[in-house]
Amino acid sequence: MLYFAYGSNLHHFQMKRRCKDSIFLKKINLKDFRLTFRSKYRAADIEPKKNSIVPGGLFEISKSDEKKLDVYEDFPVLYKKYYFYHYGKKVMTYTMVKKSPFRFPTERYLNIVKRGYLDCNLNTKFLNKALSSKF
């Protein structure tokens, strides 16, 4: 199955530890969404926004990997699954159930996300924009 990571799961070492069968395929952009951070966990989330993109990593994961991610993402309480198509292939990602206000991420969490951006060779301009969006 294909999985789109956009937060701390971009970090290759963490993702491999969490999902032993996972394979990073390539970086892709999720169109008409934007990145934000919210909830008491100050974690990454995505929300619809026209003409905006969220860069992320496309991973191949196994069924057991998906079960582990479900536990980690507190599915279906904190996050729900969102599906989209990338060149005709179905891709799964997570999005928060409750769209609470923006909360700046903890330094530790943000460092993991930044490392993930490096691991996946993503443009940090989108991450910086998400961090500067107070609204």
**Structure-token match 């990073």, residue found:** 24
Return the pLDDT at 134: 58
pLDDT in tens, 7-43: 999 999 999 999 999 999 999 999 999 999 999 999 9
Residue 113 tokens read as 């996300």
Q: What fold is seen in the domain 2-124?
A: Hypothetical upf0131 protein ytfp (3.10.490)
Please give the model's pTM, rounded to 2 decimal places. 0.96
3-class SS of residue 126: helix
Is residue 90 classed exposed, middle or buried when 0-12, 13-18 and 19+ CB atoms within 10 A define those classes? exposed
CB 130 within 8 A of CB 37: yes
Q: How many residues does the chain have?
A: 135
The CA distance from 117 to 120, in Å, is 5
Residue 75: pLDDT band with limits 50, 70, 90: very high
Whether residue 78 has pLDDT greater than 90: yes
Q: Which of 104, 126, 108, 106 is nearest to 117 (CA)?
A: 126
Tokens in use for 86? 């990338």
For residue 29, the 8-state DSSP code is: E
- The count of C-alpha atoms lying within 13 angstroms of the C-alpha of 129, restricted to the half-sphere facing its C-beta, is 11
What letter does residue 109 receive in the DSSP assignment?
Answer: H
> What are the sequence ranges of the domains in the chain?
2-124
Q: Which residues pair with 94 in a beta bridge?
A: 81
